[in-house]
Amino acid sequence: MDKLFGWLFGSQPKTTEKAMDIANTAPLTEEQLKTIVSNQNPHFDLQQLVSAAGQSVGKQRELNEDSLLAITSTMAGNSGNLPFGLYVVADGMGGHQFGEVASNAAIRTVAGYIMKKFHPYLFQVKSEPMDESFQELMSAAVNEAQRIIQREAPGSGTTLTAALVIGQQITIAHVGDSRAYFVYPDGRLETITRDHSLVQRLQELGHITPEEAENYPHRNVLYKALGQGDILDPEIFTLAFPQPGTLMICSDGMWGVVAEQDIIRAINEAPNLQRACQNLVTAANTAGGPDNISVVLAQLIG
């Protein structure tokens, strides 16, 4: 029976551990380790973009004022199939139902604007080269959203963190305190956006420490939001997609609640992105779920 179980479940003879201790085996080289690791990971010879998303109203709110959009595709073209992705998280505010209107309008306007521009490249046989750069496109989309929100929900506001992925380029448009991260398989996490919040600004200036920031009374004050102010100046920048690595965009219902270490673990230990999203949302709710939760994950594989 022992043998049978051992065969079925791969349990090892009891003596192995001892033998391992004294065994003097040749260590694997870095190269060999890399090959083994990469063989375990999914691989495509043409690069593929994959994504997953998760949302929850949280445990303490009745309304969901977050909005989320995730589109993943490839653009067929002469120089191969180019990964195409558009991921947007918006966290509405304003203290009443207008927060929801604002985040909704932001998502629809930004995504609508960009998809219209890419329509010829995704769905038409003939297309002229685009006469705008990625960054100009994102800027125009955000300004359009600003105009629409001021018209449709005057006085309200929303955060907006949008990522346009074309090939290996990620172009981010960012206003407010939703965040974009790169999470690497070696356990590093890099915040690639900067919160437009008072508490963040005071930390940047060195007037309060990260510890003081945790308990700062005005943690929820933003100095920049979509829909607010005469002049909007979104942060727009382009980075290379981390390979290997995961792009994560989330609202503060996620990053403000779940510790960085837990975020990293949830992503790196999950068998796939869908499960990783599920784990992240569960973690935020387990921690009390004080706010709406939105998260998008994307990876470029190959």
Partner 1 sequence: MSNHEGQTIIYLIRRTPLETRLFPELSDDDKGEENVVAKSQLQAGAILAKRYAIQEVVGLGGMGSVYRARDMHFPNVTKLVAVKEMINSAPDPLVRETIVQNFEREANLLATLHHPSIPKIYDYFTLESRSYLVLEFIHGKDMEAVINETNGFLPEEQVLTWAIDLCDVLDYLHKHQPDPIIFRDMKPSNVMINSNGDVMLVDFGIAKAFQSGIKGTMIGTEGYSPPEQYRGEATQAADIYSLGATLHHALTRRDPRLEPPFSFAERPIRRINPAVSPELETIVNQALEYEPANRFKSASEMRDALTSVARKTGMLVRMGPKTGPIKSEGIKPLWKFKCEDEIRGTPAIHQGTLYIGCYDHNLYALDASEGKFQWKYPTDGGIVSRPIIVDGNIIVGSEDKRLHVVSSRSGKVVWTYYTDGPVRSSPSIAEGHIFFGSDDNHLHAVNLNTGRMAWRFESADAIRSTPFVMSEMVYFGCESGDYYAINFRGEMKWRFRSKRAVTASTVGTGQAIYFTSVDGTLYALDPRNGWVIWRFRLGKSSISTPCIADDLIVVGSADGFIYAVEAKNSKEAWRFRTEHQVNGSPVLYKDSIYCGSVDGSLYCLEYRTGRLRWKFGTEGAITGTPLVFDDVVYIGSTDHHIYALLA
Residues near partner 1 (CB under 8 A) are 60-61, 65, 77-79, 82, 93-96, 98-99, 129-130, 132-136, 150, 154-157, 166-169, 171, 177, 196, 198, 201-202, 204-205, 207, 217-225, 228-231, 233, 235-240, 252, 290-291
Nearer to partner 1, 24 or 79 (CB): 79
**Please, what is the minimum distance in Å from the beta carbon of residue 61 to partner 1?**
7
Distances (CA, A) of 146 to 106, 129, 154, 226, 234: 8, 27, 10, 6, 10
- Structural contact between residues 252 and 293, judged by C-beta atoms closer than 8 angstroms: no
**Please, what is the minimum distance in Å from the beta carbon of residue 36 to partner 1?**
26
**Please, what is the minimum distance in Å from the beta carbon of residue 267 to partner 1?**
24
Tell me the C-alpha distance between 256 and 56, whole Å. Answer: 15
Strands 160-166, 82-93: pairing kind: antiparallel
Nearer to partner 1, 267 or 284 (CB): 284
Residue in the structure block whose two tokens are 């139902």: 97
Nearer to partner 1, 48 or 278 (CB): 48
Residue in the structure block whose two tokens are 């949280």: 58
**Please, what is the minimum distance in Å from the beta carbon of residue 157 to partner 1?**
5
Per the structure block, which two tokens stand in for 287? 């921690």
**Please, what is the minimum distance in Å from the beta carbon of residue 215 to partner 1?**
13
Nearer to partner 1, 179 or 224 (CB): 224
- Structural contact between residues 277 and 295, judged by C-beta atoms closer than 8 angstroms: yes
Nearer to partner 1, 200 or 299 (CB): 200
Residue type, 178: S
Of 150, 187, 210, 184, residue with least CA distance to 261: 187
